[in-house]
Structure 1
Amino acid sequence: MAIHCPDNLTNAQPHKLNMESRLVEFRDKMAADLDRTMEFWLKNSHDDKYGGFFTCLTRDGKVYDETKYCWLQGRQVWTYSRLYNDVKRFHKPEILDAARNGGEFLMKYVKNPETWKCYFSLTRDGKPLKIQRTIFSECFYLMALSELARATGDPKYKTEALKMMDKILYWVRVDDTELGRPKLAGMESVNKMAIPMVILCLIDQLVTMEPGLLDKYRSDMKWCISQVLSHVQRDGKVVLENVSFDGKELPGCAGRLMNPGHAIEAGWVLTTLANRLEDNTLKSIAIEKFIDTSFENGWDKKYGGIFYFLDADGLSPAQLEWNMKLWWPHNEALIAFLMAYKETKNSEYFQKFSKVFDYAYKHFVDDVHGEWFGYLDRRGEINMDFKGGDYKGCFHVARYLMMCEKMATELLGNE
């Protein structure tokens, strides 16, 4: 077997056997959870009349709002395409057809062909409702079409994804005036971690589509990595969401803001890229600072679970939902700690994976109808029982499950 533990552990062999049995348990539960989760979306979310997907779904899958949110349209196309490409039991014509139909809806309705800006939300039949002055709708549009290109081999999706990447990099690194944000006198220039981090995700996605693109985007990758690393502050004790572009802490609530789940996600993204770059120093920073330190800061020691937001000085964050427990930080932590264990064989990371897994499968998972509840109160009680809305769709849960099922299988030596 491929499980390894430090030699100096007391009763090392029983410890190893326990880890192995738990890993088998985790893998089997995740495989069943992935099947159940995808059955939920395949059964309830497809719009067979106009194309695309419904994401506003009740606990049992009924549509409660027909608005189509473009982040989630793109994410669902990506999820179906990645499952089709990488998980053998989902390599089925109906999965590919659903991904292709979603991709065609994106290309027909979501992007403004004159500006290349993508709408945030649409009516059911594709009429624009809202546009954001950010790059995230465009990012998920790109991710969807890039992965769909892998699945179909159709060059039009690859061409569209690469053209969108050119626009995104222009907006971020050259001139953002086309995004439509007014320049007000009191506004500071802020390095928001979400921007370089999502571009790193895009680069990793495009290199997955075509490995030869790594050299094309290498300088952009290094710039983004430096921007993300500047968010490690206070002698490595915190990861802040917002800093100045010269790497300094900003004043006020925004400057002290921590989002543990987001920092943990950045950690596993950086770990993935560190492997591409063969950079062990970057890997250590990603695991120790972004994943482990952020988890220790973010774990609720009284009730369990990961806080949504925190203030670096221990004050109450300005966000009213700061102490809620949301589904996606727990998805990110599960990916991050199993990846950290796989990379280092440090059993502490396996124990933290186990800790998050046990909490999540006690509180978030719906064994009856499938998928996860998204929003719990601090004590872990369900706050809202819908399965999808304007930000929660077919993405985080499925991505965690497919990635961690694969890593668990590799660790068990059962590929």
Structure 2
Amino acid sequence: MSLQRKLLKSELTSELDSILKYWSEHTVDEQNGGFAGQIDFNDQRIENAEKGSVLNSRILWTFSASYQTTKNENHKKLAERAFEFLIAYFYDTKFGGLFWSINEDKTPKDTKNQIYALAFAIYGLSEYYVISKNEKALEIAKNLYLKIQEHSYDPVNKGYFEAFTRDWQPIEDLRLSAKDANEKKTMNTHLHIIEGYVNLYKVWKDEKLLEDIIELLETIDKYFINIETGHLRLFFNENWIEKPDVVSYGHDIEAAWLLQQCAEISGNEKLIENYKKYAVQIAEATKEGLDSDGGLWYEFDPEKNKLIAEKHWWPQAEALIGFYNAYQLTGKEEYLDIVYKNWKFIKKHILDQQNGEWVWGIFDDYSLMQKDKAGFWKCPYHNGRACLELISRIQD
């Protein structure tokens, strides 16, 4: 192994410790239970902030996955804390779904069933089962999978619908966030359903689940991957009529490696072959979004021919894995060089060297985006996972 790769592995090992330390020391909510709902860019906890189920599930996944590498008992305890809080306050025992958010007093706030959130709960619960063998975690993960199949799956046109009311009725506003198109089928949700399903399959070798995984990978292949451009298509109606939108460089490079990994776990040779090919094609297309400083731009709007000139934290994390994966597939040093340059950019502009964790991002003039350090969408999952993936992939 080259000295440069050895150094990268060593630095990412230290960075994983640093990320976990931040979340261990700053986010545990002793007063209200669970974890803080929001910490601002000055590392100030926002009192009375609502708590999101996605953040809780991502914390659950991160500490469960990290414990398998760190063997730090505190990381296992924090995973357990996230699990206990999830099943006590986010899991809806009446209708079998998951609350999108709760108030600080732990009462339900937004009770819609956003399928994206259920997928992340499956992802986190399955990972927690690996370290705890807690049957309750596996049981709830299975229940959520069955609810998605029962209510969200489209038996006519395939794929999955976005969101429902608490009692699984149709809902007007399907969006994950205000910036998203209000469409019935989205790339983002399908990407994370497959991620959750595959993680569940690793601990529960169910034949029907495997069939659903293979069908979902085929659906993603058919509709979401634009083989002409190497980018992802993001939004569709129920009949798979596309609503053209931005190019999302972060989602592109995340999908590149993640879908390949899912295909490999499915064991389907044809899908493995296809997704290995896409992993390189998408990585190649994502190079369009790289700046000369090594950072990955956020999005590009083809209709306006306009770059969304921001560099958010999570696309950088996914770029580390996606381009390293492309290097592993091809042996081409240029992909490895992108990884080194991107990590250098992260260290210089995205890591908060003083207080820990990663900042939300920077604008094109390198000024700081004054957004959460922890919150609904700011979590330890992307950057923690990037560290874990590369630590594992860079072999001694």
TM-score by length of structure 1 reads: 0.82
**Distance in structure 1 (CA, Å) of the matches to 2:365 and 2:355:** 23
| Partner residue of 1:207 out of 201, 209, 214 | 201
1:239 aligns with 2:238: no
Structure 2 residue aligned with 1:158: 138
Q: Could you give the per-residue CA deviations for residues 343-396 of structure 1, whole angstroms, max 9, x where no partner exists?
A: 332222212212221222211011221111112112332121642122102221
- Percent identical among aligned pairs is 21
How far 1:334 sits from its partner (Å)? 0.6
Relative to structure 1, the CA distance from residue 208 to residue 60 in structure 2 (aligned partners, 3 Å threshold; closer, same or farther) is farther
Structure 2 residue aligned with 1:56: 38
After TM superposition, the structure 1 = structure 2 runs for residues 267-286 of structure 1, keeping only pairs within 5 Å, are 267-276=256-265, 277=267, 278-279=269-270, 280-286=272-278
Relative to structure 1, the CA distance from residue 238 to residue 81 in structure 2 (aligned partners, 3 Å threshold; closer, same or farther) is closer
**Distance in structure 2 (CA, Å) of the matches to 1:183 and 1:407:** 40
Relative to structure 1, the CA distance from residue 181 to residue 39 in structure 2 (aligned partners, 3 Å threshold; closer, same or farther) is same
How far 1:330 sits from its partner (Å)? 0.8
Q: Which one has the largest radius of gyration?
A: 1
How far 1:239 sits from its partner (Å)? 2.4
1:196–1:225 contact (8 Å) kept in structure 2: no
After TM superposition, the structure 1 = structure 2 runs for residues 40-79 of structure 1, keeping only pairs within 5 Å, are 40-59=22-41, 61-67=43-49, 68-79=51-62
1:242–1:257 contact (8 Å) kept in structure 2: no
Higher mean alpha-carbon deviation, 259-268 vs 91-100, is at: 91-100
**Distance in structure 2 (CA, Å) of the matches to 1:227 and 1:197:** 11
How far 1:60 sits from its partner (Å)? 6.2
**Distance in structure 2 (CA, Å) of the matches to 1:373 and 1:205:** 28
Structure 1 residue aligned with 2:295: 305
1:259–1:308 contact (8 Å) kept in structure 2: yes
Structure 2 residue aligned with 1:10: none
Q: Secondary structure at the match of 1:56?
A: coil
Q: Secondary structure at the match of 1:255?
A: coil
**Distance in structure 2 (CA, Å) of the matches to 1:190 and 1:316:** 26
Q: Could you give the per-residue CA deviations for residues 8-28 of structure 1, whole angstroms, max 9, x where no partner exists?
A: xxxxxxxxxxxx121112111
After TM superposition, the structure 1 = structure 2 runs for residues 358-397 of structure 1, keeping only pairs within 5 Å, are 358-384=344-370, 386-397=372-383
Across the aligned residues of Structure 1 and Structure 2, the Cα RMSD in angstroms comes to 2.6
Q: Could you give the per-residue CA deviations for residues 243-279 of structure 1, whole angstroms, max 9, x where no partner exists?
A: 466766x3xxx41322111121111111112323244
How far 1:124 sits from its partner (Å)? 2.2
2:185–2:237 contact (8 Å) kept in structure 1: yes
Structure 1 residue aligned with 2:335: 349
| Partner residue of 2:250 out of 253, 257, 261 | 261
Q: Secondary structure at the match of 2:105?
A: coil
After TM superposition, the structure 1 = structure 2 runs for residues 15-414 of structure 1, keeping only pairs within 5 Å, are 20-59=2-41, 61-67=43-49, 68-84=51-67, 86-87=68-69, 90-132=70-112, 134-174=114-154, 178=168, 180-182=170-172, 191-210=185-204, 212-213=205-206, 215-229=207-221, 230-233=223-226, 235-243=228-236, 250=242, 254-276=243-265, 277=267, 278-279=269-270, 280-293=272-285, 295-300=286-291, 305-313=295-303, 315-316=305-306, 322-384=308-370, 386-408=372-394, 410=395, 414=396
1:325–1:380 contact (8 Å) kept in structure 2: no
2:254 is matched by which residue type in structure 1? E
**Distance in structure 1 (CA, Å) of the matches to 2:247 and 2:280:** 16
Q: Could you give the per-residue CA deviations for residues 109-162 of structure 1, whole angstroms, max 9, x where no partner exists?
A: 112222223222222231122234521222222222222211111111111111
2:264 is matched by which residue type in structure 1? N
**Distance in structure 1 (CA, Å) of the matches to 2:75 and 2:203:** 18
Relative to structure 1, the CA distance from residue 220 to residue 305 in structure 2 (aligned partners, 3 Å threshold; closer, same or farther) is same
Q: Could you give the per-residue CA deviations for residues 45-69 of structure 1, whole angstroms, max 9, x where no partner exists?
A: 1122332111422456431234222
Structure 2 residue aligned with 1:7: none
**Distance in structure 1 (CA, Å) of the matches to 2:27 and 2:258:** 29
Q: Secondary structure at the match of 1:233?
A: coil
**Distance in structure 2 (CA, Å) of the matches to 1:170 and 1:260:** 32
Aligned residues: 375
**Distance in structure 2 (CA, Å) of the matches to 1:242 and 1:204:** 23
How far 1:189 sits from its partner (Å)? 6.7
Q: Secondary structure at the match of 2:123?
A: helix
**Distance in structure 2 (CA, Å) of the matches to 1:247 and 1:343:** 31
Structure 2 residue aligned with 1:4: none
1:193–1:227 contact (8 Å) kept in structure 2: no
Relative to structure 1, the CA distance from residue 174 to residue 157 in structure 2 (aligned partners, 3 Å threshold; closer, same or farther) is same
Q: Secondary structure at the match of 1:57?
A: coil
1:112–1:118 contact (8 Å) kept in structure 2: yes
**Distance in structure 1 (CA, Å) of the matches to 2:312 and 2:276:** 27
